[in-house]
Structure 1
């Protein structure tokens, strides 16, 4: 912190109230924001050792450093990283911010300011130090200058709506978090931090999570007449102790909570690198949940798991998919070439939108033209210009092709006819 020889600087756009230590503050010079707030503890004071020099914001007479206050803007209520709780990697992001039965604690001796979403907030209780607010006291506090600075709203009218419930869940089957309506606000913040390198083939996203993760989660139906949350927790921990001890090197985390649709959700995630054994553990739990816990009220279980692991520093899943597509494409091209042997013909066949008709080379003194229709449809009769006849006489004629070409008079045939390709030119004339 700044000492008596330093200059304490609050940046011009600092919009958070700053609580001064109760022991007092002694600085050489203090530069305040354009619109800020200093909060003094009872009987505390601060001392400025030198006066402002003629030079704007100068530090004449101050032999120490210029030290700036780092926090400029309020922290976001919907940001899970701004809350200290007993959460783990398995805890859904929506449950890492205060739920409707949680106690929210602010330390009045620290500088803080938070912006709440433009939505109704439900929490069990709010405490400032040793003071626990009632609903009336909280509403009055939010209208004070300090309350207005410390608990803000992202809405344009700066209206904050916080409703106090009770700081305990009285439902023996457990209580929902009650934050589902804030999921978009939470995920808009968290999505920027989601890891893009996941070591599993099929990443999952449990209910309330904003990011894909490696692990497993189970959606569980239960009979409210038989199910008890505390009993289930105790039985689950004791019956799986051997399994958990066996795989303790994988730093597994578990989270069980009732979710919005009335189901239970069990999430398994690891702080360590994802390995195939975690998928094995998921199948062990699925088998137990589907059989051993029926007497506890568990009636139906669905599992969603990440499957096998892979090396994220080596062959990634994206690369595997790309290489597979390339190999399949090359195999298809190889098969096509093997059966046809002519790439140009294959390309022409792909480009053609109608049926494909092949004509073989022929001599005029043979029986005629062989037509092969790949669609195996009846050949329609059409007419065409014979280029071989045009090589002798300039006058061409149309000859109807039905099954074979008729014998032509030898007087109009050349002495030697080279093998030629004949192009079929379709016309609008049809013959019966």
Structure 2
């Protein structure tokens, strides 16, 4: 037997091309398939009907009341957990293991099985197998020992909101909202779930997904996301739940965070401001043109002598008023001229005397 960290060195040569001495070989393509490796604490390894978009990665591993199944038609190597994890029982193909001892014997003797299990320690599989049920009114955490989740294989899409959030236990930033708070001894997790379900249904349960997680050290986390594309509904629902939570549920820290508006709505305020700005500028320009006429520029007629300058710009074109001396000579233009008799003329000035009437 080889040690865990042992290796085998093979010496030889690889010849590329056709072998002239081989006459019975049919041509074809040969592909090298990489051995599949996974870790118990690796994100996106486990699947379950109870998972949704709001489920944190730390709670996507088997919980204490879960049945762990490994299909018989897969070939993989699984690294077992370092910290003790409690599960109901383990199913590998057609074999069922209800105790850690039986599973350990299978692991160390199953070298010819398609599913290989890698031990972190030589004498333990890191699992506690047995049927347990939560008896606490405030709920029970998924596991008492939270594993350090390996997020290296997790694909994180680009969030479609202004301020993405990252709830406790999530590998990626998401759009939605979450509440994290310390619970009191009188906290009833079923009562809290009824409040969440009632508010979610009022907004439309077909549009939202949520997850309520009971964490160690008397903490609870609620995560809400939009089921399809983020529209901001989950953020509104979280605010409503936060407002309607009962005071006797919370003791100490209470933290709520939402991700804000969708990205396609984030630039609406700026677009509206720019549109209004140009509208005001155009309105002012139209008013200016209306009250202050644009200067008239006359061009010479074709066929006549071209002046060396353009016509003088006249900003007032309605009428011309000029001031003249009163002794200037008035020339007749065919119209009748009226003179003011109070001014000097050939007839002389009219004398007006004041008469005092005795009383």
Could you tell me the TM-score, scaled by structure 2's length? 0.57
Q: How many angstroms apart in 1 are the aligned matches of 2:243 and 2:59?
A: 27
Q: How many angstroms apart in 2 are the aligned matches of 1:188 and 1:109?
A: 26
Of residues 137, 141, 146, the one that matches 2:106 is 141
Task: Determine whether 1:105 maps to 2:69.
Answer: yes
Paired positions, count:
251
Partners of 2:75 and 2:114 within 8 A in 1: no
Of residues 126, 131, 152, the one that matches 2:117 is 152
Mapping of residues 20-419 of structure 1, within 5 Å: 60=24, 65-66=28-29, 68=31, 70-85=33-48, 86-133=50-97, 134-146=99-111, 150-153=115-118, 160-178=125-143, 181-183=146-148, 185-190=149-154, 193-195=155-157, 197-225=158-186, 227=188, 229-238=189-198, 240-245=200-205, 248=206, 251-290=207-246, 297=249, 302-311=254-263
**CA root-mean-square deviation:** 3.9
Q: How many angstroms apart in 2 are the aligned matches of 1:131 and 1:312?
A: 52
- CA shift, 1:119, in A, is 4.1
Partners of 1:101 and 1:168 within 8 A in 2: yes
Relative distance call for 1:277 and 1:143 in structure 2 (3 A) is: closer
Q: How many angstroms apart in 2 are the aligned matches of 1:59 and 1:272?
A: 60
Relative distance call for 1:147 and 1:254 in structure 2 (3 A) is: farther
- CA shift, 1:111, in A, is 2.7
- CA shift, 1:257, in A, is 1.2
Partners of 1:199 and 1:310 within 8 A in 2: yes
Relative distance call for 1:154 and 1:200 in structure 2 (3 A) is: farther
Q: How many angstroms apart in 2 are the aligned matches of 1:120 and 1:164?
A: 10
Greater relative contact order (CA < 8 Å, ≥ 6 in sequence):
2
Q: 2:3: which partner in 1?
A: none
Gaps of 5+ in 1: 1-33, 36-53, 316-432
Gaps of 5+ in 2: 1-8, 11-17, 268-359
CA deviation digits over 1:219-270, x for unaligned, max 9?
234344451x34543453245422225xx4xx32100011123111110122
Structure having the higher Rg: 2
Q: How many angstroms apart in 2 are the aligned matches of 1:280 and 1:182?
A: 32
Relative distance call for 1:95 and 1:222 in structure 2 (3 A) is: same
Relative distance call for 1:90 and 1:309 in structure 2 (3 A) is: same
Relative distance call for 1:79 and 1:219 in structure 2 (3 A) is: same
Relative distance call for 1:170 and 1:69 in structure 2 (3 A) is: farther
Partners of 1:77 and 1:117 within 8 A in 2: yes
**Helix, strand or coil: the match of 2:53?**
coil
Partners of 1:94 and 1:179 within 8 A in 2: no
- CA shift, 1:271, in A, is 3.9
Q: How many angstroms apart in 2 are the aligned matches of 1:117 and 1:312?
A: 43
Q: How many angstroms apart in 2 are the aligned matches of 1:71 and 1:304?
A: 44
Partners of 2:74 and 2:115 within 8 A in 1: no
Q: How many angstroms apart in 2 are the aligned matches of 1:160 and 1:148?
A: 17
**Helix, strand or coil: the match of 1:82?**
coil
